[in-house]
Amino acid sequence: MKHPNFIIYIFVLGLFSCSSTFESGEAYYQSGNYEKAVSSLNKTLFFNITDLKALHLRARAYEELGDYESSAKDYKTIIRLKPTYAQAHAGLGSLAFKLKDYKTAEKHLLIASYHDSEDFEILFLLGRAMIVNENYKSAEEFLELAKELRPKEPMVYYYQGIARGKLGDPAGTAGAFNMYVTLEPESLQGLYNRGFAYMTIGMREWAIEDFDKVLEKNPKHYEAMARRGVCLTKKNPNKACSDLNLAAKNGSKYALENLAKYCQ
């Protein structure tokens, strides 16, 4: 029979080894060496198969390696051990989002947000999934919560602008894209979307300014050209028709639809 002190020694050695390999795995993960992170975390989990932190970090490492099946398996193990572990639900949601299974992504992210309503990444990704699933009202609400956590994050305003646009709220859309452009002044997509929103609520001068900025940086942005043309129909009919003709020739359906109306 082994001496009790020997058994205690082995137990303590196991605990020390577990802690050491986890720290190594964490360091490898932070440095981007995901394969070595998995190897170290495997050793941690050999001594303690229910270590939630190690399972979570290994799941994230697998995800970075593109091994979504192994990642999902670890996340599901965590949930079996602790159903309220928000980050495991979020992990499954993130995997589903990457695989373009947006219904499943929304389901898992919604559960994750229930268990952790203060996690920006969960709320932000949930809002994006809801937009794809055409749940625009809920998307806008969750993005609003995300915005409260990170008011300086440009992409929150970008997706909130999309959600509001789909909800038929042009003023709200313009407001969201205005904040986005304030934070990301070089974004052509932001300028174009803000111009489109301004145009919708009748603020044509401001819309023209945005379309001008887009076309200065990308003269072949024919959708911006077409919409600028429509905005110019009263102020400068000749320029309007020039814009509409050129945009129509280059494939803009919007320009083609409005050419006969304004340029007979």
Q: What tokens were used for 154?
A: 């440009």
At residue 119, the 3 state secondary structure works out as: coil
Using alpha carbons, list the distances in angstroms from residue 57 to 27, 33, 64, 175: 11, 13, 11, 39
pLDDT computed for residue 43 by the predictor: 87
Q: What does the angle CA 32 – CA 38 – CA 44 come to, to the nearest 5 degrees?
A: 125
Half-sphere exposure of 99 (CA within 13 A, CB side): 17
pLDDT in tens, 87-105: 999 999 999 999 999 999 9
Predicted pLDDT at 1: 44
- For residue 216, count CB atoms less than 10 angstroms from its CB and return exposed for 0-12, middle for 13-18, buried for 19 or more: exposed
pLDDT digits (tens, 9 = 90+) for 39-61: 888 888 878 888 899 999 999 99
pLDDT at residue 19 in the model: 55
Q: What is the pTM of this model?
A: 0.84
Cα angle: 193, vertex 199, 202; to 5 degrees: 145
Q: Which residues of the chain have pLDDT under 70?
A: 1-20, 25
- Res 49: pLDDT: 84
The reported pLDDT for the residue numbered 15 is 43
- Model pLDDT, residue 30: 86
- Rounded CA gap, 144 and 123, in Å? 9
DSSP state of 186: T
pLDDT, one tens digit per residue, over 152-173 is 999 999 999 999 999 999 999 9
pLDDT for 23: 80
Q: What is the pLDDT of residue 25?
A: 65
User: CA angle at residue 76 from 74 to 78, to 5 degrees?
Assistant: 70
